Amino acid sequence: MLLQHKFSSLLDRFLPPICGRVGQTRVSTDFPVLLPPSVHRQAVRARLSTFICRARGKGQTKTFKEIIEIEEREEEGGRDERKPEDLSTSIDGGNKEYEDQYNEECNEEFTSEGAFRGRGDEKDYDRDPEIAEILGSYFDDPEKGQSMLEERIKKKRNKILHAKTGSAIPMKVVFKRFDFSNSYIWFEFYNVPLPKDVTLICDTLRAWHITGRLGGCNSMNMQLSQSIMDSKRPRYDIIQGANVTPTTFYNIGDLEIQDNLARIWVDIGTSEPLLLDILVNALTSISSDYVGIKLVVFGGFEFENWKENLTSEDAGCSTFKI
């Protein structure tokens, strides 16, 4: 109670007359307005934070203990006639160290070096004078801005557009006793795939499995692809979509690699050719743009030059989780 009394008297001295005791607030209309205690406490915190920030902005600080001592001296009869701004001590010694730390934290919070700047290895394009000039030109002279943008693209073409690293020869696809419930898919690359190429293949197979697992590849429900898309508002029959036979992708194994050969075991479960079309289309793009794939074989438990007894510890053999 003593602390609450001191705190309330402190607010009456240093803060504008906007809040009074708990449960009552004074406003400019000169009549009391009752507020809930929770609202009153929030108002007190807000006004006290404003007071402290103003004192810090002037380069002045004062600890709560010192303020309490002043209140105690006043209660004993020794009223301090100094103004509130004179009661704050100058920033020296320990107070200066605290003030410097506070200012440093504030500066870090609202500068480009803060948490909202992004990754450290990224270039800060917000402060690129060339980008600023191009954007400014679009407001004053759109044609000039367009020409400046085209000129920038020409200069940085090699950084923007990357050459294809795949193969210009189309990927060959072969089916050999393929069973949707228990089969291998074999891959033959032109060269030993690099780690980034293996990552791309694994991500593609993982996305393919997730899409099939969720029933996204169902050739029995292709209403939009089979409808006329000239209209901007095609109709979708939800009853028909809910009553079709669901499809799924039951299971998939790990990607095994031996030199330039790879295989993966699949259990699609239902005979859904659309799943195979989706995988072939994705592998075709990968082969032409990123890593050349010479051959993809669906089915069969044997493949040329594949050694069954090799493990992940042997040279040229590795396994990757899908």
pTM above 0.95, yes or no: no
Q: What is the pLDDT of residue 233?
A: 81
Shared domain for 153 and 263, answered yes or no, is: no
Shared domain for 63 and 201, answered yes or no, is: no
Tokens encoding 185: 């898919």
Is 41 within a domain? yes
Shared domain for 139 and 51, answered yes or no, is: no
Euclidean distance between CA atoms 97 and 99, whole angstroms: 5
Kindly state the average pLDDT of the residues 268-291.
94
pLDDT tens per residue, range 53-110 = 444 444 455 566 677 777 777 766 655 445 444 444 444 444 555 556 656 655 554 4
- Assess whether pLDDT exceeds 70 at residue 200: yes
Q: How many CB atoms lie within 10 A of CB 190?
A: 15
Shared domain for 68 and 140, answered yes or no, is: no
The counts of H helices and E strands in the chain are 12, 11
Shared domain for 156 and 194, answered yes or no, is: no
The structure tokens 């069969």 sit at 300
Domain region containing 269 = 172-218+245-320
Shared domain for 266 and 312, answered yes or no, is: yes
Shared domain for 156 and 176, answered yes or no, is: no
Is 114 within a domain? no
Residue 91, phi then psi, degrees to nearest 5: -85, 100
Shared domain for 104 and 211, answered yes or no, is: no
The CA-atom distances, in angstroms, between 76 and each of 5, 79, 87, 311, 321 are 15, 8, 18, 87, 77
Euclidean distance between CA atoms 254 and 185, whole angstroms: 11
Shared domain for 181 and 294, answered yes or no, is: yes
Look at the chain and report how many structural domains it folds into: 3
We report the CATH number of the domain holding residue 294 as 3.30.70
Shared domain for 257 and 135, answered yes or no, is: no
Shared domain for 48 and 149, answered yes or no, is: no
